A and B are shown apart, each in its own frame.
Chain A
Amino acid sequence: MAQGVLTGNREAFFSTIRQNIKTPPGGKAPRVENPMNGLFTQRQTNIEERRELRERFIHEWTTLGGKAFSIKNQTELGQVIKQIIQERQLHRAMRWDHPELEKLKLEDIFADTQASLSRWPLEKNYSDWIGKAAAMEAGIVWGDMVMAETGTLVLPAASPGQPASISVLPLTLIAIFTTAQLVDGFAGVVKTFKERYGTDLPTTTTFISGPSRTTDIEMVLTIGVHGSRFVYALILDEGT
């Protein structure tokens, strides 16, 4: 990747700052030690505890206006997806290109209901895919990390097949994940990020807590002004 270009006089920009905070250039600031400690819960969880986290997530997610389903097996998954297709009257949907979603044979489930499911990328060029993506009624993503305490999906775009467009353009968002993806909250997410990425974060990471909302007119809550209006979380048992 090519190095970017700096515009503006770096010395002049920093001169007032350095003069006023009275620190020499080139120093290294010691960080505030353990800034998160004591503020967030930090539990190591086993399968049983993660099932408890699932209940917590479902509570938070539904409070935010989403719908959540606990799913035991592939048959149940098919039934729930068909229910959503019917409920939202879906004809066209797109999904992330993700190995876990690949295993679930979602295309077959959609085909059973006469709906179509396309895998990302829809096309190679922006001018070709943007129209198609905008016409999609639902987007399906893999919930890579999920925070139970806040009812939040964490979606790092870890590969080119997992773009942000899928989770924000369509009116309906469907996130599928297993209980293995559940963590308490930020402590678990930060730990995983540090292990996986260090400081080399993916191009985009999105934290989604429920459907798009606004209270900009008379402070009245209205759902789905720009992003998703209907959000579904499908939580599979580990090993499904």
Chain B
Amino acid sequence: MHIEPSFRKRYHKALSDTAMLKAVKNGTGRLRGQRATAIEAVGAERWMEFRNRAEAIRMHVIQHLDQYLEQLIDNVLKKGGHVCLAKTGEEAVQYISELAKKKNAKSILKSKSMVSEEIHLNPALEKQGCKVIESDLGEWIIQLAGETPSHIIAPAMHKNRFQVADLFNAVSDEKIPTEIADLCGFARKYLREKFLGIDIGITGCNFALADSGAITLCTNEGNARIISALSPTLVTIMGMERILPGLEELTVMLSLLARSATGQKLTVYNTLSTGVRKAEELDGPQEFHLVIVDNGRSKQLGTKYEKILNCIRCGSCLNACPVYRNIGGHAYGWVYPGPIGAVLSPLYQGMDKYGELAYATTLCGACTFACPVKIPLHDMLYALRNDKVELEKKGELAEDIAYKGWSATFASMSRYRFSIRMARRFQFPLVKAEKIAFGPPPISDWLKHRDMPALPNKFFHEIWPEMNKDRKE
């Protein structure tokens, strides 16, 4: 397989960051446990019915995307909201930047939005003199660290409390204790002042409802809700696929999202907002802008990757993935990490840039099994590997030889048995305590982070005739 030096560098860096790996293993372990408990409470059969229904809803929406988007646009416009249709990320950034200029905005408060990370919105706004502040605690932490999110729902999962305290101390006049309650208390106090002086609020969009033009925001902290209540001008950025027909479909998705993401029955705050406040209302935005972003999404429609647009960004595939759990999010290189990122990144950003991510998987299928909307992620990763080879019109020479040799050996029973006899005989210089302890590259790379058991004295197929004999007797 061909791994770009940049990816190799990223995952080597990740593998040497023990604090990050410990934090990620702890975080993903907890989220997996909470999700399992939530599913157990629902019952496996009913959970499967939830997943089937959710898949059907998402497929239906994607197959009629134009109609639902048209309906949404008309409803938002009718209710006094403005809509920007952005074919590319640049178009979306330009629209929001011009709006900020027009409003002479100095203070912009954001709630978590993966699309805004995708289109590099913050640097563009800061370049024109706006102070952009992330209000989600995890997002704020990584903003202070000058990093990108490492997990879809827990963006600062890789940081420990001491690292967070250092970041907070850099913006505080006083020394903040490293107790988590104190750190959260400081964040509340610091960000509260910012909330009260918002010029423009920017939110993401969990789901938009076509039949009412309502935007749904889900946060456990309540930051999105404060932003939508206090911003005189509110901008919501949505990937064009984040749409549902109406309230009934939303209830299915909200139930799945919370349970899959954190094991909750529902996210603490789910807000449905139809945009511009009515004349006599005093809170809520006076001006509402919905920016609908394509940025490569429409190219997936009608292809074998179409189902990737079903994703509801719950992050459960990350927590299930043995590769993500061992390298964390930053090794993936773009906005979306884990199995979903390994599919989205090459599809949205190009095979030349991120095709290698298709190899950052064991193809174990844990991601597909975890996905609440049944996206066949590991099949897609396999397909992407095929596409990469097809696109490049060649595999690596060493890889070609290795696979041809493997194929020739394993196609014949006698050659297979001969090869394992030889391997067993000649492995002894490499074995220590029944494990392969040394080896040439690429085995040496593997051995740095994992154990490889030595070949046993007898394989199953060698034991089986004896076992079978005993059984017959």
Interface, chain A (partner B; CB < 8 A):
1-10, 12-14, 16-18, 20-23, 25, 27-29, 31-32, 34-36, 38-40, 60, 64, 120-121, 124, 126, 129-131, 134, 149-152, 157, 160, 163-165, 168-169, 186, 189-190, 193-194, 199-220, 222, 224-228
**Which residues from 226 to 255 on chain B have a C-beta closer than 8 Å to any C-beta of chain A?**
226, 228-230, 232, 240, 245-249, 251-252, 254-255
Given the known inter-chain contacts A29-B68, A165-B230, please indicate yes or no for A214 contacting B137, CB distance below 8 A: yes
Partner of A27, one of B67, B78, B245, B249: B67
CB of A43 to closest CB in B, whole Å: 16
* Nearest CB in chain A to that of B264: its residue: A209
CB of B195 to closest CB in A, whole Å: 8
Q: Besides the contacts A8-B87, A169-B229, what 13 more A-B pairs have beta carbons closer than 8 Å?
A: A1-B80, A4-B77, A9-B87, A17-B298, A23-B64, A130-B230, A163-B281, A168-B269, A206-B225, A207-B269, A212-B221, A219-B27, A227-B223
Q: In the complex, what residues of B have CB within 8 A of residue A32's CB?
A: 53, 56-57, 60, 245, 249
Residue pairs across A and B with Cβ atoms less than 8 A apart, 15 shown, are A8-B86, A16-B298, A16-B299, A20-B303, A23-B63, A29-B64, A126-B232, A164-B225, A164-B284, A205-B273, A207-B266, A213-B220, A213-B221, A217-B161, A222-B180
Assess the A216–B141 pair: CB atoms within 8 A: yes
Q: In the complex, what residues of A have CB within 8 A of residue B79's CB?
A: 1, 4
Q: In the complex, what residues of B have CB within 8 A of residue A208's CB?
A: 268-269
B76 at the interface (CB under 8 A from A): yes
Assess the A28–B67 pair: CB atoms within 8 A: yes
B383 at the interface (CB under 8 A from A): no
Q: In the complex, what residues of B have CB within 8 A of residue A202's CB?
A: 274
Assess the A190–B247 pair: CB atoms within 8 A: yes
* Chain A CB within 10 Å, residue with most, of B60, B155, B196, B230: B230
Q: In the complex, what residues of B have CB within 8 A of residue A10's CB?
A: 73, 85
Assess the B85–A7 pair: CB atoms within 8 A: yes
- List the 8 shortest-distance A-B pairs measured between CB atoms, nearest first: A227-B222, A8-B85, A29-B64, A20-B301, A216-B138, A20-B302, A186-B251, A207-B270
Q: In the complex, what residues of B have CB within 8 A of residue A201's CB?
A: 212, 214, 247, 272, 274
Assess the B283–A165 pair: CB atoms within 8 A: yes
Given the known inter-chain contacts A208-B268, A214-B221, please indicate yes or no for A21 contacting B141, CB distance below 8 A: no
Given the known inter-chain contacts A4-B76, A217-B183, A225-B137, please indicate yes or no for A31 contacting B282, CB distance below 8 A: no
Bound CA–CA A213/B46 (angstroms) = 28
Q: Main secondary structure on chain A at its contact with chain B?
A: loop
Assess the A226–B251 pair: CB atoms within 8 A: no
Q: How many contacting A-B pairs (Cβ < 8 A)?
A: 294
Bound CA–CA A206/B267 (angstroms) = 11
Q: In the complex, what residues of B have CB within 8 A of residue A31's CB?
A: 60, 245-246
B84 at the interface (CB under 8 A from A): yes
Interface string of B133-158 (1 = CB under 8 A from A): 00111100100000000000011110
Q: In the complex, what residues of B have CB within 8 A of residue A64's CB?
A: 268
**Which residues from 78 to 113 on chain B have a C-beta closer than 8 Å to any C-beta of chain A?**
78-87, 91, 95
CB of A171 to closest CB in B, whole Å: 9
Assess the B184–A217 pair: CB atoms within 8 A: yes
Given the known inter-chain contacts A39-B49, A186-B255, please indicate yes or no for A152 contacting B299, CB distance below 8 A: no
Partner of B85, one of A4, A13, A190, A213: A13
Bound CA–CA A34/B248 (angstroms) = 8
Assess the A228–B222 pair: CB atoms within 8 A: yes
B265 at the interface (CB under 8 A from A): yes
Q: Please, how many residues of chain B have a CB less than 8 angstroms from a CB on the other chain?
A: 112
Q: Which of B115-123, B186-194, B402-410 contacts A (4 or more CB under 8 A)?
A: B186-194
Assess the A13–B80 pair: CB atoms within 8 A: no
Assess the B137–A150 pair: CB atoms within 8 A: no
B330 at the interface (CB under 8 A from A): no
* Nearest CB in chain A to that of B290: its residue: A4
Bound CA–CA A31/B209 (angstroms) = 13
Q: In the complex, what residues of B have CB within 8 A of residue A207's CB?
A: 254, 266, 269-271
Bound CA–CA A130/B231 (angstroms) = 11
Q: In the complex, what residues of B have CB within 8 A of residue A14's CB?
A: 66, 69-70
Assess the A4–B80 pair: CB atoms within 8 A: yes
CB of B449 to closest CB in A, whole Å: 23
Given the known inter-chain contacts A217-B156, A225-B137, please indicate yes or no for A1 contacting B276, CB distance below 8 A: yes
B211 at the interface (CB under 8 A from A): yes
Q: In the complex, what residues of B have CB within 8 A of residue A5's CB?
A: 77, 82-83
Given the known inter-chain contacts A23-B66, A219-B154, A226-B226, please indicate yes or no for A7 contacting B56, CB distance below 8 A: no
Bound CA–CA A121/B264 (angstroms) = 34
Assess the A226–B221 pair: CB atoms within 8 A: yes
B13 at the interface (CB under 8 A from A): no
Assess the A8–B84 pair: CB atoms within 8 A: yes
Partner of A7, one of B65, B76, B95: B95
Bound CA–CA A169/B288 (angstroms) = 21
CB of B199 to closest CB in A, whole Å: 12
